[in-house]
């Protein structure tokens, strides 16, 4: 349905709340072309002027993608994205007739100079999708935070805490409420955690056999040495979601003896799930905070890689400082019991930028039970206590000799 005459749309026929808020100022009493009601509204022309900027800033014309079919060498071309009408319906949350009127208004108003080589932005035969926005603002915040922690030696001062609040989320904010939570415990699919320890030498083997709780449990609080996610002296329990990953984590040598055991989880624990960090809808392009939100979320999508990546043993003390403070923040300030993250020894650590958002749509990915086997858990504080939260299951203690280790490698460019 074209708009041959003056067309007006009421605010009730526009779904996007941020846009609605913005339009309130210029809205006047009109008769809505689309629902027929007399109500506060604006002309389609006014709507076009308002949405034009954000559409150009945050949407782009889709790239041509080449597809090869399996049974022939012929390539076919397909443009990424969705057509303009659909994009307008989705972004502004309006019905098709209004989108059609708006589409032709936007094409009419598209001011470009072909004589100067400029091209039109609005085309009814083009596809569009949201632009990727850079996460450099948050990369900078992270760098600043890491630098503070590593070099100024003021572990977790107010400024560092403030930076983490901006990156991960301050308590009670939308950002914090959107953090993905993974539950483990007696009523959840994950009821057991596994730990392993090197046990070569007859003395060591017997020591573990005779006092498995002490030898395979975490060190008593106060005497814990610093690790990837815990500063020295903080009660901590590192474990894996499978025996195999627990074994891989201790980097055993071939021929070596290892001990492995399982622990029951006696109450429900809330873990921050790093694999799904940043995977929330990007929200409205008319939100004044959109830019910042996308920058933050796309940084967080790579955060898992940053936190769980392998670190050379000789770099550990310094390189673990930022993640130690993150874990402390997540547990002490955001009230999680611990963190779920991919084992860096199992090759499960994702590369940044693997998930994709288009048009704000959102498909939450949950880890399959096979994938979960490659994950580690760190519990901090009271959740790490043996006897109150965790219990060693005596008949799960077993000793194994390592017969082979598999390594994966990738090309290293010099
Ligand atoms: Zn209406």
Based on the domain organization, do 301 and 357 belong to the same domain?
yes
d(CA 74, CA 284): 39
Based on the domain organization, do 183 and 224 belong to the same domain?
yes
- List, for residues 58-107, the tens digit of each pLDDT value: 999 999 888 877 776 777 888 999 999 999 999 999 999 999 999 999 99
Ligand 1 mean position to 13 CA, how many Å? 4
Ligand 1 mean position to 300 CA, how many Å? 39
Based on the domain organization, do 140 and 103 belong to the same domain?
no
Based on the domain organization, do 119 and 253 belong to the same domain?
no
Based on the domain organization, do 125 and 144 belong to the same domain?
no
Answer yes or no: is 107 within a domain: yes
Ligand 1 mean position to 34 CA, how many Å? 5
Ligand 1 mean position to 33 CA, how many Å? 7
- Report pLDDT for 354: 43
Answer yes or no: is 327 within a domain: yes
d(CA 59, CA 50): 15
Answer yes or no: is 408 within a domain: no
Based on the domain organization, do 120 and 145 belong to the same domain?
no
Domain count, the chain: 2
- Retrieve residue 157's tokens: 């001062």
Based on the domain organization, do 82 and 188 belong to the same domain?
no
Answer yes or no: is 410 within a domain: no
d(CA 239, CA 405): 20
Based on the domain organization, do 378 and 344 belong to the same domain?
yes
Based on the domain organization, do 243 and 387 belong to the same domain?
yes
- Range of the structural domain that residue 44 is part of: 8-130
- Report pLDDT for 318: 81
- Ion ligand 1, residue ranges at CB < 5 A: 10, 13, 32, 34-35
Last residue of a domain, one of 130, 155, 186: 130
Last residue of a domain, one of 109, 130, 151: 130
Helix (H, G, I), strand (E, B) or coil at 297: helix
Last residue of a domain, one of 130, 153, 180: 130
Ligand 1 mean position to 105 CA, how many Å? 18
Q: Do 329 and 164 form a contact (C-beta atoms < 8 A)? A: yes
Based on the domain organization, do 229 and 363 belong to the same domain?
yes
Ligand 1 mean position to 405 CA, how many Å? 67
Ligand 1 mean position to 47 CA, how many Å? 13
Answer yes or no: is 46 within a domain: yes
Answer yes or no: is 412 within a domain: no
Based on the domain organization, do 194 and 268 belong to the same domain?
yes
Answer yes or no: is 409 within a domain: no
d(CA 225, CA 192): 24
d(CA 257, CA 250): 11
Ligand 1 mean position to 389 CA, how many Å? 57
Which residues of the chain are under the pLDDT cut of 70? 1-5, 72, 153-156, 346-365, 405-414
- Report pLDDT for 155: 61
Answer yes or no: is 104 within a domain: yes
DSSP code for 289: T
Based on the domain organization, do 269 and 362 belong to the same domain?
yes
- List, for residues 261-293, the tens digit of each pLDDT value: 999 999 999 999 998 998 889 999 999 999 999
- Report pLDDT for 14: 98
> What pTM does this model have?
0.82
Ligand 1 mean position to 360 CA, how many Å? 24
- Report pLDDT for 408: 60
């Amino acid at each position: 349905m074209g708009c041959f005459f003056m067309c007006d749309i009421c605010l009730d026929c526009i779904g996007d709340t941020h846009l609605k808020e913005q339009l309130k100022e210029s809205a006047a009493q009109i008769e809505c072309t689309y629902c027929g009601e007399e109500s506060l509204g604006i002309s389609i022309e006014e709507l076009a002027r308002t949405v034009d900027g954000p559409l150009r800033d945050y949407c782009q014309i889709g790239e041509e993608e080449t597809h090869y079919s399996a049974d022939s060498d012929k390539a076919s071309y397909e443009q990424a994205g969705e057509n303009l009408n659909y994009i307008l319906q989705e972004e502004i949350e309006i019905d098709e007739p209004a989108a059609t009127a708006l589409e032709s208004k936007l094409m009419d108003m598209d001011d470009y100079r072909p004589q100067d080589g400029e091209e039109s932005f609005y085309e009814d035969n083009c596809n569009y999708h949201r632009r990727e926005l850079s996460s450099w603002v948050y990369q900078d915040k992270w760098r600043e935070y890491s630098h503070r922690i590593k070099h100024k030696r003021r572990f977790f001062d107010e400024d560092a805490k403030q930076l983490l609040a901006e990156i991960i989320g301050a308590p009670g904010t939308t950002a914090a409420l959107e953090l993905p939570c993974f539950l483990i415990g007696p009523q959840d699919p994950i009821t057991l955690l596994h730990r392993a320890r090197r046990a070569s030498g007859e003395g060591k083997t017997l020591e573990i056999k005779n006092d498995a709780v002490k030898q395979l449990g975490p060190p008593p609080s106060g005497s814990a040495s610093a690790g990837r996610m815990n500063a020295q002296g903080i009660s901590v329990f590192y474990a894996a979601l499978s025996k195999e990953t627990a074994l891989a984590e201790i980097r055993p040598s071939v021929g070596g003896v290892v001990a492995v055991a399982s622990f029951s989880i006696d109450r429900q624990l809330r873990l921050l799930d790093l694999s799904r960090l940043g995977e929330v809808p990007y929200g409205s392009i008319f939100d004044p905070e959109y830019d910042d939100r996308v920058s933050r979320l796309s940084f967080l999508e790579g955060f898992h890689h940053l936190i769980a990546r392998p670190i050379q043993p000789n770099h550990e003390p310094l390189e673990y400082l930022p993640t130690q403070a993150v874990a402390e923040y997540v547990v002490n300030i955001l009230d999680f019991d611990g963190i779920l993250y991919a084992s860096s020894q199992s090759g499960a650590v994702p590369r940044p930028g693997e998930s994709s958002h288009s048009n704000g749509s959102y498909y939450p990915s949950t880890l399959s039970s096979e994938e979960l086997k490659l994950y580690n858990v760190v519990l901090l504080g009271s959740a790490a206590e043996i006897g109150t939260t965790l219990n060693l299951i005596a008949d799960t203690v077993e000793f194994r000799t390592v017969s082979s280790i598999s390594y994966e490698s990738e090309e290293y460019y010099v």
